[in-house]
Amino acid sequence: MKQTLTDLPVDVLLIIFANLDSAKDLRALALQNRSLSRVVRDDGWRVFVRNRFPSLSIPNTSQGHQSWQQLAHSLTFQSRCWDKRSLQFRGLFQARDAHPGGRRGQAHLYHPVVDSWLDPESQEEMLVWGAGKDIVARYRQRGRDGGSTKVECARTDGKFVGLRSGYDDIRALSVIKGQRGHDGSRMMVMGRDSGELVLLSAEPDRFGEQLVELRPAPFDGAEEDSSVTPAQGHGTINSVDVVRGSTGSLIAAATKSSVLIYEVPRDDRSEAFPLTAYDLNPDSLATSGAPLGRPQLCRATWMGQDGLIALALKGCKDPLRYLEMTPTGWNQHTAAKNIDLEAQFGIGYGNICSNSLQPVQPNASSRGGTSLLLSAWRDGSCRLQDLRTPSPFDAVYEDNIDPWADMESLLVYGTERFVGGGMNGATIKVFDFRWTKGYYHTSGLPCLNKRPYPKPVQPFLKEPSNSNCAQRCNLAVGTACCWHGLSRDIYYRPNASFFLSKDIPGQGTPAVWSLSKPSDLSPNFYVGVSGGILEANLAERGTKYDPNFGFEDWAADSMTPGGYKSRDLRHSVMETGDGLLVQSNDRAVDLPPILRRRSVNSGRRKNLRKPGREGDAHHRLDDGILSVSDVEDVRTLTRSIGAMTLPLA
């Protein structure tokens, strides 16, 4: 009897689904008959998402309101926007007369600390930031069944409780994600310059209400643990970080000399003491060759688990370290060094950008955290390192056009890409990890016997040869056409920088102080710049947004009750090479063209029929396929709107 695809066992079909390159192929199978449609709906989209985006943290769909097909839609949409530079920016700045003490039209240039979270169950996004001595929050609830987005704001004003600017400014802020208080309220932990460390309510009607005071006294039995010393006071709180442990959430608070570990209380107590603490005394640092004087701890970051903490220090020879929990207590280790690799790559071990520590999870489904850490250094490099191996780094990244610009803050998306920002203006740098990727949006495009266009400007890479390319892809023998074969090469996938300083209000040069994303599924992330917050959205030109996780009013000008006004920001884009460190990059290179992007609400060209790489087209699960007859129309379009250097979709 003649066998058909539907006669195969489901397990075999799932293996086929796992090897499909694009959502278009899976969608085509689902349209063949009812039997395949049912298998694709029940298991196919889940297999596709898990295999094509393995490093992103994706919750079980039973926790939210989206199906696996909708998750595939959003993830492919977002991946295509990243590759096509389809980022749009909006700013949240204080209104003109929000601060009577300042000059008219001048923004209050505080250094914001920002955190955000998207609740997968309620689909509500919470954005919280420290504005000097104040705390501001915005809540956005996605409208269901086409309904409008509900927006609510809250704010605490420090002057009404006697707080002083500067001395009582907020240095650290983190939302407690996935755990609520004993009364069901959301919570956040906040640390100030003055040493105050408290757990606050994050509910809009009780926003900023103190729930628990986190006091510095050591836990009972400190005399049994030599690493714990009595503390007279916190001192300045340099950082707070929260991890979800086996029994609840744990807080790691870093002062200038110690790391304090707290458990988020589940009862109605008004104060809490550390479960354990580790004091970075000078004797423990002297063994690694620390200079005279007292080194300072700048940041402590959980490595995705409750037994491993990365540390950033200053004033010592070894600024990157980590603490490991053992049966006998905390053990401090110095990150590995290698003189041969240091000479080969021409890098030194100077000062670290303390706010840049970011754990990298190579596989989101794995348990037990990670030992991979991404960090930025004052020489302009970003280093990916496995803390438990003898190698000082696994990869080193830099801006090939401006290699000396350091990045004070980093934001990681699995092993797909990372975002950086620093003190050299309001500039956002997007880097590809150059890890093996599971999904390329170009896989959904038709075969073409041409190179990807337009040709990129690459300072150090040699253009790859197309001598082995075929006219059409042949999956049976594993050959690719010129278009598909070269589209995956890093030569045609350069990194990019987004410049926004011209539209930032206030005097002086703005800087990026913090970065935060609500979740790996969110099509937006937040940037704390001098005097305000920027929202970066993965959106197509015009007002097209992610249909499953985006907010339909994100592009609207609005005035919030907290005294902040949302407005559109223009930006310029420049491609910055492949992003891998080049030792000989110690001199100026030819500056690539800087392209000015239109604003979100400026509309789009009505005489253009087909999409370019800036994302004018409506996104479908077939990845916006173009026919070969449209190639010349697309070529005209890419030149007219200043498209970047990635293949079309």
Cβ contact 397:579 at 8 Å: yes
Residue 492 within a domain: no
Return all residues near 426 (Cβ < 8 A) that are at least 6 apart.
499, 500, 501, 504, 510, 511, 512, 527, 529, 530, 534
Look at residue 265 and tell me if it is in a domain: no
The CATH number of whichever domain residue 57 belongs to comes to: 1.20.1280
Question: What's residue 617's pLDDT?
Answer: 33
Could you tell me if residue 8 is inside a domain? yes
Residue 561: per-residue pLDDT: 53
Both tokens of 638, joined, read: 């890419």
Rounded to an integer, what distance in angstroms lies between the CA atom of residue 219 and that of residue 275? 6
pLDDT at 166: 82
Q: What are phi and psi of 443, to 5 degrees?
A: -65, -25
What residue type is assigned to position 369 of the chain?
G
Query: Cβ contacts of residue 206 below 8 Å, gap of 6+?
Result: 185
pLDDT at 621: 40
Could you identify the residue written with the tokens 């991404």?
374
Exposed / middle / buried, residue 233 (Cβ in 10 Å: 0-12, 13-18, 19+) = exposed
The residue written with tokens 């090939």 in the block is 400
67 is in which domain, residue-wise?
Answer: 1-84
pLDDT value, residue 93: 87
**Phi, psi at 548, each rounded to 5°:** -110, -25
3-state secondary structure of 56: coil
Do 240 and 252 touch, CB atoms closer than 8 A?
Answer: yes
Residues of the chain with pLDDT under 70: 1, 61-64, 96-108, 145-147, 217-233, 281-293, 337-346, 348-349, 392-393, 507-508, 541-543, 555-562, 586-588, 597-649
- Sheet of 564-569: strand order equals 512-516, 524-529, 532-538, 87-94, 564-569, 558-559
Answer whether residue 36 is part of any domain.
yes
Helices 68-83 and 23-30, axial angle in degrees (round to 10):
150
Read off the DSSP letter of residue 426.
S
440: nearest Cα among 452, 428, 456: 452
Amino acid 392: pLDDT: 66
- Domains identified in the chain, total number: 1
Residue 5 lies in a domain: yes
Residues making up the chain, counted from first to last? 649
Q: How far apart are the first and last CA of the chain?
A: 41
**In 95-149, where do the E strands start and end?**
113-118, 124-131, 134-141
The tally of CA atoms less than 13 A away on the side-chain side of residue 615 is 29
- For residue 181, being part of any structural domain is answered with no
Is residue 34 situated within a structural domain? yes
